[in-house]
Amino acid sequence: MELIFERSRAGRGNQVLPECDVPEYKLGGDMLRAEAPKLPEISEGDLSRHYAALARRCHGVCSGFYPLGSCTMKYNPKLNEKIAALPGWNNIHPLQPDETVQGCLEALTIAEKFLCEIFGFDGLSFQPAAGAHGEFTGLLLIKAYHHARGDFKRTKMIIPDAAHGTNPASATMCGFTTVTIPSNEYGMVDIEKLKEAVGDDTAGLMLTNPNTVGLFDRNILEITKIVHEAGGLCYYDGANLNAVMGVVRPGDMGFDVMHSNLHKTFSTPHGGGGPGSGPVACKDFLLPYLPTSVLGGSGNRPDSVGQVKAFFGNFNVVIKALTYILSLGAEGIREAAENAVLNANYMKTLLAPYYDMAYDSICMHEFVMTLEGLKKETGVTAIDVAKALLDEGIHPPTMYFPLIVHEALMIEPTETESKETMDEAAQVFIEIAKRARENAEDLHSAPHTTPIGRPDETRAARTPVVRYSFDA
Ligand SMILES: *Cc1c(COP(=O)(O)O)cnc(C)c1O
330-344: pLDDT as tens digits: 999 999 999 999 999
| Interval 152-179 mean pLDDT | 96
Judged against a pLDDT cut of 70, whether residue 273 lies above it is answered with no
Please report which confidence band the pLDDT of residue 403 belongs to, taking 50, 70 and 90 as the band edges. confident
Phi-psi region of 181 (alpha: psi -120 to 50; beta: other; left: phi over 0): beta
Judged against a pLDDT cut of 60, whether residue 423 lies above it is answered with yes
Q: Is residue 462 within 8 Å of residue 411, measured between CB atoms? A: no
Q: Which helix (H) or strand (E) holds 355?
A: none
Lowest mean pLDDT among 26-40, 41-55, 141-155, 412-426: 26-40
Judged against a pLDDT cut of 60, whether residue 298 lies above it is answered with no
How far does the centroid of ligand 1 lie from the alpha carbon of residue 284, in Å? 25
Please report which confidence band the pLDDT of residue 115 belongs to, taking 50, 70 and 90 as the band edges. very high
For residue 21, what pLDDT is reported?
Answer: 93
- pTM of the full predicted structure? 0.91
| Interval 14-31 mean pLDDT | 85
For residue 98, what pLDDT is reported?
Answer: 86
Q: Which atom of ligand 1 is nearest to the CA of 212?
A: 13
Q: Summarize pLDDT for 305-362 with one digit per residue, the tens.
A: 998 998 889 999 999 999 999 999 999 999 999 999 999 999 999 999 999 999 988 9
Please work out whether the CB of residue 164 comes within 6 Å of at least one atom of ligand 1. Answer: yes
Beta bridge partners of 408: 370
Judged against a pLDDT cut of 80, whether residue 296 lies above it is answered with no
For residue 229, what pLDDT is reported?
Answer: 98
For atom 4 of ligand 1, the residue with the nearest CA is 131
Please report which confidence band the pLDDT of residue 297 belongs to, taking 50, 70 and 90 as the band edges. low
CA 175 to chain centre: 23
Q: Summarize pLDDT for 87-110 with one digit per residue, the tens.
A: 999 999 888 888 999 999 999 999
| Interval 143-172 mean pLDDT | 96
Please work out whether the CB of residue 130 comes within 6 Å of at least one atom of ligand 1. Answer: yes
For residue 472, what pLDDT is reported?
Answer: 62
**Nearest to residue 211, comparing CAs of 413, 401, 350?**
401
| Interval 265-286 mean pLDDT | 90
**Residues 241, 76: Cα–Cα separation, whole Å:** 16
| Interval 183-212 mean pLDDT | 94
Ranked by mean pLDDT, which of 1-10, 256-265, 397-406, 451-460 comes out on top? Answer: 256-265
Q: Which atom of ligand 1 is nearest to the CA of 240?
A: 15
Choice from 136, 261, 265 to test ligand 1 binding pocket (greatest atom count within 8 A of CB): 261
Please report which confidence band the pLDDT of residue 456 belongs to, taking 50, 70 and 90 as the band edges. very high
Q: Is residue 263 within 8 Å of residue 317, measured between CB atoms? A: yes
For residue 292, what pLDDT is reported?
Answer: 79
Range list of β-strands (E), 149-287: 156-160, 177-181, 202-207, 233-238, 257-260, 280-282
Beta bridge partners of 280: 125, 259
Could you tell me the strand order of the sheet in which 177-181 lies? 123-125, 280-282, 257-260, 233-238, 202-207, 156-160, 177-181
Please work out whether the CB of residue 295 comes within 6 Å of at least one atom of ligand 1. Answer: no
How far does the centroid of ligand 1 lie from the alpha carbon of residue 131, in Å? 5
Judged against a pLDDT cut of 90, whether residue 245 lies above it is answered with yes
| Interval 199-217 mean pLDDT | 94
**Residues 261, 77: Cα–Cα separation, whole Å:** 17
| Interval 135-152 mean pLDDT | 98
**Residue 340 CA neighbour count, 13 Å, CB half:** 33
How far does the centroid of ligand 1 lie from the alpha carbon of residue 320, in Å? 19
Please work out whether the CB of residue 210 comes within 6 Å of at least one atom of ligand 1. Answer: no
Judged against a pLDDT cut of 70, whether residue 384 lies above it is answered with yes
How far does the centroid of ligand 1 lie from the alpha carbon of residue 167, in Å? 9
Q: For the chain, give the percent of residues with pLDDT over 90.
A: 79
Lowest mean pLDDT among 165-174, 364-373, 462-471: 462-471
For residue 467, what pLDDT is reported?
Answer: 86
DSSP 8-state symbol, 354: T
Please work out whether the CB of residue 208 comes within 6 Å of at least one atom of ligand 1. Answer: yes
How far does the centroid of ligand 1 lie from the alpha carbon of residue 30, in Å? 44
Q: Which atom of ligand 1 is nearest to the CA of 70?
A: 15
Please work out whether the CB of residue 268 comes within 6 Å of at least one atom of ligand 1. Answer: no
How far does the centroid of ligand 1 lie from the alpha carbon of residue 136, in Å? 12
Sign of the CA dihedral running 160, 161, 167, 168? positive
For residue 185, what pLDDT is reported?
Answer: 83
Judged against a pLDDT cut of 80, whether residue 271 lies above it is answered with no
How far does the centroid of ligand 1 lie from the alpha carbon of residue 241, in Å? 11
How far does the centroid of ligand 1 lie from the alpha carbon of residue 139, in Å? 15
**Residues 380, 371: Cα–Cα separation, whole Å:** 8
Q: Is residue 134 within 8 Å of residue 259, measured between CB atoms? A: yes
For residue 178, what pLDDT is reported?
Answer: 98
